[in-house]
Amino acid sequence: MPSNADGELTRLLLTRYSLNKDGTVKLDSDTTFLTQINPADFKHNFSIGYDTTKQQGGAGTEPKFSALGDEEVSFSFILDGTGIVPAATGQSLDVKEQLLQLSKVVYDYVELKAEPPYVRVLWGTLIFFGRLKSLSAHYTLFKPSGDPLRAKVDVSFVGAMSKSEEQRITSRSSSSELSKRQTAKEGDSLRTMCEAVYGDPDMAEQVARHNNMVETRELKPGQEILFPARA
């Protein structure tokens, strides 16, 4: 379980934030949620998208990189209103009030924009910036009045990349020697495909040389063409 340099318990902290015009993060230190009991486990998922389109009559295909998929984190934690576990600093022991505060941080729509907020997840060495994907509360203990005394909360967040981070990744990708492989369709010519890929049909001669082609007009349906990265 994470602790600081003095060996003290570090609680998982959720902080609402917004993005400045330049894409940098602006934390809202007044809208936070601190877990009373830290998660027992924590999932951090990464994914990659591939194009697995098969050619007509083909027996199989080689997965071709398409794009980076969503990064996600998910975890569960307990809210306890019995008094056995002390409340987190600045927060109520009441389970309903804790859930209201959690909702204010991760769920309630941002005013004017009518969209869910951005949330920073901070726990130990983990720093994750994202938006809520799902939240559910399972009540397991009640007062005689029916008010909840304990609840298990499951949350998951999907990564939200700031504009500046996205630009850095896009710049890194565009500057590397990445090639695109496209499959010709009925009626395609190298010029029309270059228009679609580069926005420049005059790239046809360069692409033809790259693929050791002589004819640049009509292509055979299903024919694969490798389009090199532009210098």
Mark which of 117, 139, 167 sits at the end of a domain: 167
Same structural domain, 106 and 201: no
How much is the pLDDT for 178?
A: 56
Structure tokens, 91: 């927060």
| Domain extent at residue 193 | 177-227
Q: Are residues 102 and 204 in the same domain?
A: no
pLDDT computed for residue 177 by the predictor: 44
Taking the C-alpha atoms of residue 198 and residue 227, their distance in angstroms, rounded to an integer, is 9
Q: Is residue 3 part of a domain?
A: no
Based on the domain organization, do 27 and 100 belong to the same domain? yes
Burial of 95 (0-12, 13-18, 19+ CB in 10 A): buried
Q: What's the domain count of the chain?
A: 2
User: pLDDT (tens digit, 0 to 9) for every residue of the chain, 231 residues total?
Assistant: 555 444 457 899 999 999 887 777 889 999 999 999 999 899 999 888 887 776 666 666 677 777 778 899 999 999 999 999 999 988 899 999 999 999 999 999 887 678 899 999 999 878 899 999 999 999 999 999 999 999 999 999 999 865 555 554 444 444 444 567 888 888 888 888 888 888 888 888 888 878 777 666 668 888 888 888 765
> Do 121 and 91 belong to one domain?
yes
Residue 111 confidence (pLDDT): 75
Are 29 and 93 found together in one domain?
A: yes
Determine, yes or no, domain membership for 149.
Answer: yes
pLDDT for position 164 = 53
> Do 136 and 190 sit in the same domain of this protein?
no
137/182 same-domain check: no
The closest of 209, 211, 205 to 226, measured between CA atoms, is 211
Pair (150, 62) in one structural domain? yes
Identify the residue whose tokens are 């009441």: 94
User: Do 126 and 210 fall within a single domain?
Assistant: no
Distance of alpha carbon 141 from alpha carbon 145, whole angstroms: 11
Contact assessment for residue 10 and residue 123, using Cβ atoms and an 8 Å cutoff: yes
**Strands (DSSP E) found in 52-165:** 64-68, 72-80, 118-123, 126-142, 148-159
**pLDDT the model gives residue 76:** 97
Strand partners, 120: 15, 129
Residue 8 lies in a domain: no
| Dist CA 218 CA 60 (whole Å) | 26
- Which CATH number does the domain housing residue 84 bear? 2.40.30.200
Residues 40 and 142 in one domain: yes
**190, 111: one domain:** no
